[in-house]
Copies of this chain bind each other. A is one copy, B any other.
Amino acid sequence: MVSIIITSGPTRQYLDPVRYLTNASSGRMGRALAVAAIEFGYRVTVITGPVSLNYPDNCQVVPVVTTQQMLAATQAAFETADGLIGAAAPCDYMPSFVSEQKINKTGDSLHLELLETPDIVATIGNNKKSHQWVVGFALETDDRRFRTIVKMQKKCCDLMVSNAPSAIDSEQNTIEIMDKTGQVIQTASGDKREVARSILQQIRQKLIEKNPYSAE
């Protein structure tokens, strides 16, 4: 059975026990992909940041909080998986110092040094075995196609789904799927469940059915 890992939702990077940096990712795209992948007959593991929705019963769910935790859980699950769909929006900056106590307001400004968190899709993509595939998501406000191609190369992705910030915390999404040659091979718009089915169809055609190692 084809085994797919889906990362989903946001992650959090805490400054102190109360405050953190994050984004409004709801996990809806990840859940829609999980539902579609199960419909297609695949075994699904969802590695998810804190969300308020429920994933389908018939998939394994691994809850995490930080980007580092999501990376570790994804690496562990990917060992025995066929592919990864990186639909999460991991928080990509973390404070260089995390206070154990709540930072008290003093009236002065607070200077925060933010370091980049590890890139989950890039780490998996650059270390994948020859029979494994990785599909990334790119969320861009400007120069979307150009930046998506750059990200696809850097992260060693087999396909890349490009969308805009309007997708965040929405029921809807408008996407383009690009392949390694930089061509748009599919566009889809509408309810995230429909969009997820389009993505899974492309993954099946381009990555699963062509792969002699995966036994459906």
Contacts and interface: CB of A to CB of B under 8 A. Distances in A.
Number of identical monomers bound together in the oligomeric complex: 2
A140 B21 contact: no
For the residues of A in contact with B, the DSSP-based class is loop
Nearest to A119: B105
A165 interface: yes
A112 B165 CA distance: 22
Most buried by B among A18, A93, A105: A18
Given A20-B24, A101-B141, A105-B116, 10 more contacts: A18-B23, A18-B165, A19-B22, A19-B23, A19-B93, A20-B23, A52-B52, A102-B142, A109-B114, A111-B114
9 contacts: A15-B21, A17-B141, A18-B168, A19-B93, A20-B23, A102-B140, A111-B111, A111-B112, A111-B114
